[in-house]
Chains A and B, each alone.
Chain A
Amino acid sequence: MPRTRLWRRSSDVEQFFFHTTTGHVVLLVLEALAILVPLLIAVAYLTLMERKVMAAMQMRRGPNVNGLFGVLQAFADAIKMMTKETIIPSGANRFLFLLAPFLTFSLAMLAWAVIPTGDGLAVANINVGILYLLAISSLGVYGILIAGWASNSKYAFLGGLRSAAQMVSYEVSIGLVIVSVLLAVGSLNLNDIILAQRHVWFCVPMFPMFIIFFISALAETNRAPFDLPEGESELVAGFFVEYSSLSFGLFFLGEYANMILMSGMVSILFLGGWLPPLGIAPLTWIPGPVWLIAKILFCLFVFIWVRATFPRYRYDQLMRLGWKVFLPFSLLWMIATAGFLLATGNLPQGVS
C-alpha cells in the first residue's frame, strides 16, 4: 500500500491515522477532498476550456473579459448561477424535482473513488473497480429520467425518455468493449488493467474498440453529436428545461464531471492510465498523475472537437448506430479477442 510507504518515517502520524478511529475518519475525509477539490476546479475550467477551444475552432475569441484570458469566467458564471432564483414549477413533484440534480451531481463525484492516479493510488483500490465504474455510470440515467418526469412538462419528459433509451442502448456496447479489455487483462481491478498495458497500450491492438468506446462515451454523457435529450431545436432544452439557478448548475457540473470521468475511463482502459508512453528514463521521471491528467485532457479536447465539428444525429440514426452497428461489432470483436488469446496461449491464467 502506498499510504504506508508515504508515512513510514513518522510513526506518530501513522499511529494516529491507521490505528485510531478518529484517524481513519480524518484520513477518509482528506482522501475524498484530495480527489474532489481538484475535480471541481477541473470542472470549472473545463467549461472555460470548452468555450475557448470552440471559439478557436470557429475563429472567435471566446470569453476574454474576466481576468487574464478569461480565467475568471468560470467563477463569474458560478456567481451568476447562484444568485438567480430557484423556480419550482407548480405541478412538479417537489422532492423528486430537487432530488434529480443532486443525484446527477453526487453520482458523478462518487465514481471518482476508484480511479487510480498512480500505482495503486486510489481512494478505494477495489477488486471490482471497473464494474463499480460501470454501475455508477449506468445510474446516471436516473437523474435525467427523474428530472424529466418530476418537472411535469412535455419537453422535459420527452428529453428524459430519449435519454433513458439512449443511455441504456449505448451501455450495452460499452459493457462488451470492457469485456474485451478484461479478457486481455484477467482482472477487474483498475490498477491491474493499467499495469497490463506496460508494454503496449490497448488502443493499439484494440483500435476499433477504442473508437467504439469513445463514441459510446459521447452518447453516454449526452454530448454532441448525441445530445438529443437536450436538443434545443425540438425540445427547447430537454430534461432540464424547468430548472434554474443552482439546481440547473448542479446538472451542469454533473454533466461536465461525467465528461471528465468518461475521459478518465478511456485513458485507463485504452491509453495506459498513469503509465508514460514509453518506460524509458526521462518519461518515467514525470509522476503518474501528470500522465493521467494529460491523457484526460487530450480526451476532453476530442470531446470538444467533436462538438464543434459534427451536426446532431437523428434519433433513428442514433439507435441504429448503437444496436445495429456497435453491438454486433463489439460482440464479434469480443469473441475474436477470446479466440485469439486462446489460440496463442496468452489467455491470462489463474490471476484474481
Chain B
Amino acid sequence: MMIQLVFYVFAAVLIASSAMVIFAKNPVHSVLFLILGFFNAAGLFLLAGAEFLAMILVIVYVGAVAVLFLFVVMMLDIDFARMREGLQRYAPLGAAVGGVLFAELAMAAAHWASSPVMPEPITGGLGQPGGPMTNTAALGTLLYTHYILLFQACGLVLLVAMIGAITLTLREKPTGRRQVIGKQHERMRADTLDMLTLPLGFGTDANGGFLRPAKGYYDTAVPGSYGVPAAPEPPREEVRKVDGDAP
C-alpha cells in the first residue's frame, strides 16, 4: 500500500517534470526540471530494488551530464521571439517524429520480456528485498559474460566520440601561454630575483627599474606559445624594463 503510494508519487512527479522540460520558457528551468526528472527516475529504480542503477543514474546523468547541459545552456543567449517564429512550420515535423517514437515504444513494450540468462531472481519485485545476490553483482555477472561484446562495443563508441570531440576543439593558439612545468620548477631564486639594499627615499629607478630576469623569461614557454615562434630563436631581450614601458 505504502509502496504503491510512493511509486505513484515518483511517477507523477517524473511525468510532470518531463512535461515541464518541454513547456518551460526558460531553457535553464528546462534543464533543472530534467534533473528533477532524473531524480524521480532514480527513485523508481530504488523502489524496484535496483539501487545500483539508481545511484549510477544520479552520478552519471545528474552529476556529470546535466551539469554540462546546464553549463552550456546558461551561456546561451536566446531570443525568445525568434524561437517562436518557426513553431507553425516545424510543428508537423515534430509531431511526426514524436509519433514514430511513440509507435516504437509501444511496439517495444508489447514484446517486452526478461532476459532468459538472468542469473537468480535478483529483485523480489516492487519494494521487496532482493534475492541472494546484490544487484551490483548480478549486473556485473550478466554484463561481463553474456553481453561482453556489446559492452566493449559501447566503450569503443564512447572512445571514438571522445577523440572526435577533442579533435574538433583542440586548437594550437600561438598566443596561448603554456609553460613546461618541469622547467618552471627547476628555476632557482638566483635566476629570477635580485635583492637590492636601498637607502630610504630611493626607488629602484637608479638601477633600471624592476628587472625581468636576464635569462629565462621565455625558457619555460612551450614552443609555439607566448607568441613565440616555435622554430627560430625567440626574440629575447637581455633586460626588460617593466614599470615604464609595459609591453
| Contact partners of B181 in chain A: CB under 8 A | 317, 320
Cβ A141 vs Cβ B133 within 8 A = no
Residues of A within 8 A of B70 (CB): 142, 145, 149, 164
Q: How far is the CB of A216 from chain B (nearest CB, A)?
A: 14
List residues of chain A with CB within 8 A of the CB of B67: 141-142, 145, 164, 167-168
Q: Shortest beta-carbon distance, A179 to chain B, in Å? A: 12
Q: A135-B59, A149-B74 are in contact. Are A128 and B64 (CB under 8 A)?
A: no
Query: Quick one: which of A128, A146, A157, A165 contacts B55, CB cutoff 8 A?
Result: A128
Q: Is the CB of A352 within 8 A of B137?
A: yes
In the complex, whether A245 has a CB less than 8 A from a CB of chain B is no
Pair B58/A135 contact, Cβ less than 8 Å: yes
**In which size bucket is the chain A interface?**
20 to 34
A121 located at the interface, meaning its Cβ lies under 8 Å from any Cβ of chain B in the complex: no
| CB atoms of B137 and A138 under 8 A apart | no
- Is A132 interfacial (CB 8 A cutoff)? yes
Residue ID in chain A nearest B176 by CB atoms: A316
Please give the distance in Å from B3's CB to the nearest CB on chain A: 14
Interface check B14, CB cutoff 8 A: no
Judge whether B64 and A138 touch: CB under 8 Å. Answer: yes
Given A128-B51, A161-B71: A188 in contact with B136 (beta carbons within 8 A): yes
A71: CB under 8 A from chain B? no
B52 contacts A171, C-beta separation under 8 Å = no
In the complex, B18 has a CB within 8 A of chain A: no
> Does B63 sit within 8 A of A, measured CB to CB?
yes
> Chain B binding site: helix, strand, loop or mixed by DSSP?
helix
A145 to B62, CA, bound (A): 13
Partner pick for B62 among A132, A139, A157, A160, CB 8 A cutoff? A139
Asked if A128 and B68 make an inter-chain contact with CB atoms under 8 angstroms apart, the answer reads no
Is B13's CB within 8 Å of the partner chain A?
Answer: no
* Contact in complex: A145, B63 (CB < 8 Å): no
A139 near B55 (CB under 8 angstroms)?
Answer: no
The answer to whether B59 and A149 touch across the interface, beta carbons within 8 angstroms, is no
Contact yes or no, A128 B62, CB < 8 A: no
- A195 proximal to B (CB < 8 A): no
Contact with B along A297-334 (1 / 0, CB 8 A): 00000000000000000001100100000000000000
- Encode B164-198 as 1/0 by CB contact (under 8 A) with A: 00000000000000100100000000000000000
Residues on A with beta carbons closer than 8 Å to the beta carbon of B51? 126-128
Would you call A246 an interface residue if the criterion is a C-beta within 8 Å of the partner chain's C-beta atoms?
no
Cα A126 to Cα B50 in complex, Å, equals 12
**8 Å CB interface, A156-211 against B:** 157, 160-161, 164-165, 167-168, 171, 175, 188
User: Of the candidates B35, B71, B136, which one forms a contact with A164 in the assembled complex, judged by CB atoms under 8 Å apart?
Assistant: B71
Task: Kindly list chain B residues whose C-beta atoms are within 8 Å of the C-beta of A157.
Answer: 74
A88 at the interface (CB under 8 A from B): no
Q: Are B62 and A138 in contact (CB under 8 A)?
A: yes
Instruction: Give the residue name and chain of the B residue nearest to A320 (CB).
Output: B181
B33 to chain A, nearest CB (A): 12
Other-chain residue from A131, A141, A145, A188 in contact with B74 (beta carbon distance below 8 A): A145
Q: Which B residues lie within 8 Å of A235 (CB)? A: none
Is A134 a contact partner of B59 (Cβ separation < 8 A)?
Answer: yes
Cβ of B20 under 8 Å from chain A: no
A41 to B55, CA, bound (A): 30
State whether B136 touches A128 (Cβ < 8 A): yes
A-B contact pairs, 27 of them (CB 8 A): A126-B51, A128-B136, A131-B56, A131-B59, A134-B55, A135-B62, A138-B62, A139-B62, A139-B63, A141-B63, A142-B67, A145-B67, A145-B70, A145-B74, A157-B74, A164-B67, A164-B70, A167-B67, A168-B63, A168-B64, A175-B59, A188-B52, A316-B178, A317-B181, A320-B181, A352-B133, A352-B137
8 new A-B contacts, CB < 8 A, other than A145-B67, A164-B70, A165-B71, are: A131-B52, A134-B59, A135-B55, A135-B63, A138-B64, A145-B70, A146-B32, A168-B63
Q: Residues on B close to A: CB < 8 A?
A: 28, 32, 35, 51-52, 55-56, 58-59, 62-64, 67-68, 70-71, 74-75, 133-134, 136-137, 178, 181
Can you list the 10 inter-chain pairs with the closest CB atoms, starting with the nearest?
A138-B63, A131-B55, A135-B58, A352-B134, A135-B59, A128-B51, A149-B74, A128-B55, A127-B134, A135-B55
